[in-house]
Structure 1
Amino acid sequence: MNTSGHAADAVRDDTGGLRLAPFRGLRYVPERVGSLAAVTSPPYDVVVRPDGLLELESADPYNIVRLILPQAITAGTRHRKAAATLDRWLADGVLAPDPEPALYVYEQQGDGVLQRGVIGALELSTPAEGVVLPHEDVMPHVVEDRAALMRTTAANLEPLLLTYVGEGDGVDEVVGRTVHREPLLATTTEDGFHHRLWAVTDPAEQATVAAKLGRHQALIADGHHRWATYLRLRGEHVSPGPWNYGLVLLVDTARYPLRVRAIHRLLNRLPVAEALAALDGSFRVRRVDRPLPAALEALAAAAAGGNAFLLAGDGPFHLVDRPDPALLDRTVRADRPEAWRTLDATVLHATLLEHVWGIPDAPEDIAYIHDAAAAVDQAERRGGTAVLMHPVCEDVVRDLARQGVTMPRKSTSFGPKPATGLVLRSLALD
C-alpha cells in the first residue's frame, strides 16, 4: 500500500502499536440505488440463511449481499460471480471511489446505544506481536472461503470491528469535531439504527489519529475469520503493498462501550429428545414452559451460578445446568486458565458436543446463529436442537486475549456491528 504522505508514516516509530492508514473508500452512488439502507446488510456471518439472504437480495438489485454472499453451485463460481458483479457495478457507476484517501468516522445510534469509531486500513500484525489480540479460534473452511472471495474480488468488502481502550486523547477530539460537519451519508436501516459516515481528509487530523492509535493495542470484537483471512493473503503477497493492510473499524470502548451477546448453536442432526436422554445423570434438566424472553431470563439466572444452557426445538425450553464436576474434570483441558475452563462455550464444545452428544465439528452438523428466535425457529423446522447461550463478560474476553488464550470459536458477539455496504476498500486503488 502506498502510504506516502499519509497517516501511516506518522507512526513509523518504535511504539509497536496500531498503524492505521487512510484509503480511497468505495461507496454507493446514492442516485444509482433505491436507498442506502436497502443496499446494506449485516456482516456475512450474521445473515440468517436462507430467509434473511433472500430478503436482502430482494431489497435492492444492488444489495451488498450479492458481493459478500454470492449464490452459485460451486465455491469457485460464487467467488467469480462476486468479482464480476463488483466490476460491473464499478463500470456502471453504482459504486465509485472517493477522490482522495481518507479515514472515515462512523456513527451508529439506536436501541439506546451511541457508537462512534474510525474506519481505516490497518497494517496487519501477528498475534505474537501483541498489537491485535484475537480471542476466539477460527474454522479453517470459513477462512478458506473468505480468502478465496477476497482474493478473487481484490477487495475488503466489510470492516472488522476492533476495540481499544482510549485515554480521551486526540482521536476523540478529531471524532468530536468531525461529527459536527455535514456527513458523506446518513441512513436508517430496517433495525432502526441510524448510520452516519464522514471522511477525514485533512493530513494533520489523519496524523493525529494515527499517532494516538500508535500507542494502543486492539481486541478483535468481530471478524476473527476475516482477520485470519487478511493474514493468509498477506502471506501470499510477500512484497509490501495493499495486502499488508485490512479494512477495520476501531472503537474506543472507554468512550463507547460495546454490548456483548451470545452466539447460539443449531445442532442440525440431533433431535431434542435424543439430546435430553444423553444428559441423564450428567446435568440437571428442567422444563421451562415460558415465552423465549422469559426462558432467556431463566438461563441468565442459572448462568450466574455456573454453566447453563437452554435447549429448544420441540416446543418448550429445557434448562440444562449443574454439570457433574467429575465429568468436567475428565473432559475439559486442565492446562488452561480457570476462566477458560469454566466458560460455557468450553463446556459446551469439550463436554457436551464432543463427549456427551458426539457431534462432529462440521458445518453440516453445527450452525452458528446470532439471533435466539431464529435459532429456535430453525431447530423446530429441521427437527434439530437449538442450544441457546448466555453471553460472556467483556473483561473475561479481554483478560484471556491478553494471556494469549483463545476461546472456543463463536463464543461472543460484540455489537452493534458496522453495517456492511457503507464503505468498501478496493486493493486495486491502493
Structure 2
Amino acid sequence: MRLNPFRAVRPRPDLAAQVAAVPYDVVNRAEAAELARGNPHSFLHVGRSDIDLPDDVDPYDPRIYRHAREALDQLLARGTLLQDAKPGLFLYRQVMDGRGQTGVVGCVHVDDYERDLIRKHEKTRQDKEDDRTRHVLTLNANAEPVFLTYRERPEIDALVHRIVSGSTPLYDFTAPDGVRHTIWAVPDPVAMARAFGGVPHSYVADGHHRSASAWRAGKVLRSKNPSHRGDEEYNWFLAVLFPADQLRILPYNRLVRDLKGQTPSEVLGRLGRLGRLTPAGDATPDRTGVFCVYLDRGWHRLELEAGGIDRSDPIASLDVSLLQDRVLSPILGVEDPRTDKRIDFVGGIRGPAELERRVDSGEMAVAFSLYPTTLGQLMAVSDAGHVMPPKSTWFEPKLRSGLFVHQLG
C-alpha cells in the first residue's frame, strides 16, 4: 500500500480539545447543535454546517456546503487551525475504558481504492455519497479521515512503539465522552511509509461514504486539470490506519416499528420455531447465532439451531444476515433494510437501555440485540469481493474530526 505524508492542517495545541468533534454522521442536527453550542472552535461548524443555518434549510442545499467552506476559512483565518510547513505523518492513539488503539495518520491513493487495494465491505447510498462529494469539492479538502484497518505487521508495530515511548505528544486530551486522544508526529515519515509498502491491502472499517466521495472528488479534479501529472494532492485522501488486532467492533442492533399486524405472543411463537427461545437475564448475546429480543417489556434469548447455519458462507453466516433472513423478512416483513422506513439501527455503544426506552415509549414495537461481527468476518467478506448487509459493524471509539485536514489544492 502507498502511504503519503501531507502538509496537515491541524489545531493550535491549546485549542485541540475544543476543535475536536464527533464525526458528522453519528449525530443528528439537534445533537450536533447542542455539542457545538457556545464553542466557535468546534469542527462541527464545518462537518455539520447546517447547525448554523435556519432549521428549514434542506440538508443538501448548496448553502450547506458554502457555509462549511466559510467555517473552515474562518478557523484558518483566526489561527485556530494552522498548516504544517512540511509534509508529515502522525500517530493517533485512542484509549476507551482502558483499551487503546494506535493508528498511523497519512494519505492513501485514490487509485489504490479503485484497484481494491483498499477493500470495502458495505454498499454506499447514492444520496450520502453525493453529499460528501460536494462537501469535499466545495472545501477543496478532506475534512474527516477514513478509518482503515490492516493485518498487523511487526515492523510497523515496532516503529509505532518506538515513537510512542520516546516522543512528546503534540496533543493529549480527554473528550467529554471519556475517550483519551493522543497525537504524535512521526519523526521519520519515509521509514514509516516504506513499512506500509509491505502491507498488501487495507480494509475500510468505518467511512465508506467518505472514501467513495474522496475517490469521486479525485476523479473530478483530475478531469478538470489539463496539466494533470499524477502527483497532485487530490490523488490522495486522508486516512488513519489501525492494526486489526487492536480494534473493537460493537454490535449494530435493530428495532422494528410494528409487528405487521401480529400480537407479541404470535411473534414469540414464530420465533420459538426457529430454535430455543427462553427468558433472558440480560440483553447481551454470548455468541454468534444467538439474539436477544426485547418485546412486550421483556427480554428473550433466541438460540438458532446450529445445524441450519452454513458457516462456509461468509455472508449468510453473519448474525445480521441470519436475523434478516430468518426473522426480519419472513416474520416482520422487512424486505429491504436499506429502504424500509419501519426499521432503525442503534450502535452498540448506546447499550440495551436505549433499545428498551424506544420500545417502552411506543415508538418501536420490538428490538433485537446482536452478537458483534468480528474483524475476521469483515475481512473474509471483503477478500471474497462481497459486501455485508447494511449496518453490520459499529467501531468504537470513533475518530475525532478536526484534528487533521488534508487540503487538495
**Code of the aligned partner of 1:368:** F
After TM superposition, list the pairs within 5 Å mapping 1:124-163 onto structure 2: 124-125=110-111, 129-163=115-149
Cross-structure match for 1:407? 388
TM-score (norm 2): 0.82
2:20 paired residue number: 40
- Identify which range, 315-324 or 176-185, moves more after superposition: 315-324
Q: Deviations over 1:222-243 (max 9, x none)?
A: 1122122222222323343323
Q: 1:354 to 1:149 in 2, by over 3 A?
A: farther
Give the alignment of 1:272-311 within 5 angstroms.
Answer: 274=262, 276=264, 279=267, 282-284=270-272, 288=279, 294-296=282-284, 299-300=285-286, 303-304=287-288, 306-311=289-294
SS of structure 1 residue aligned to 2:333 = coil
Q: Deviations over 1:61-103 (max 9, x none)?
A: 3222222223242112322221221122222222221222110
In the alignment, structure 1 residue 270 sits paired with structure 2 residue 258: yes
2:314 maps to a residue whose letter is: A
Q: Percent identity of the aligned residues?
A: 28
**CA pair 363-228 structure 1, distance change in 2 beyond 3 A:** farther
Question: How many residues are paired up?
Answer: 384
**Which structure 2 residue ranges, 5 or more long, are not aligned?**
223-227
CA contact (8 A) 1:79 1:149 kept: yes
Determine if contact 2:259/2:267 at 8 Å carries over to the other structure: no
What's the CA shift string for 1:321-342, capped at 9, x where partnerless? 538999x9xxxxx9x9523112
Q: Decide whether aligned partners of structure 1 residues 153 and 167 sit closer, same or farther in structure 2, where only a CA change above 3 A counts.
A: same
Instruction: Give 1:259 deviation, angstroms.
Output: 1.1
Give the 3 Å change call, closer, same or farther, for CA 144–43 of structure 1 in structure 2: same
Tell me whether 1:253 sits opposite 2:253 in the alignment. Answer: no
What letter matches 2:251 in structure 1? Answer: A
CA deviation map 1:16-61 (0-9, x unaligned)? xx11111111122245x4xx334322323333x3664243122623
Residue 226 (1) aligns with residue 210 (2): yes
Partner of 1:176: 161
| Alignment RMSD | 3.1
Asked whether the 8 Å contact 2:13–2:170 carries over to 1, the reply is no
Cα pair distance change 1:354/1:339, threshold 3 Å: same
Partners of 1:363 and 1:142 in 2: CA distance: 17
Give SS of 1:27's match: strand
Task: Report the TM-score, using the length of structure 1 for normalisation.
Answer: 0.79
1:221 partner letter: A
Amino acid at match of 1:206: P
Partners of 2:67 and 2:373 in 1: how far apart? 38
Is the contact between residue 105 and residue 238 of structure 2 (CA under 8 Å) also seen in structure 1?
A: yes
Which blocks of at least 5 consecutive residues in structure 1 are unaligned?
1-17, 329-333
Alignment of 1:279-428 (within 5 A): 279=267, 282-284=270-272, 288=279, 294-296=282-284, 299-300=285-286, 303-304=287-288, 306-311=289-294, 315-322=297-304, 338-359=313-334, 361-362=338-339, 364-370=341-347, 371-372=350-351, 373-381=353-361, 383-384=363-364, 385-428=366-409
Compared CA separation, residues 64 and 247, structure 1 to 2 (3 A):
same
- SS of residue paired to 2:219: helix
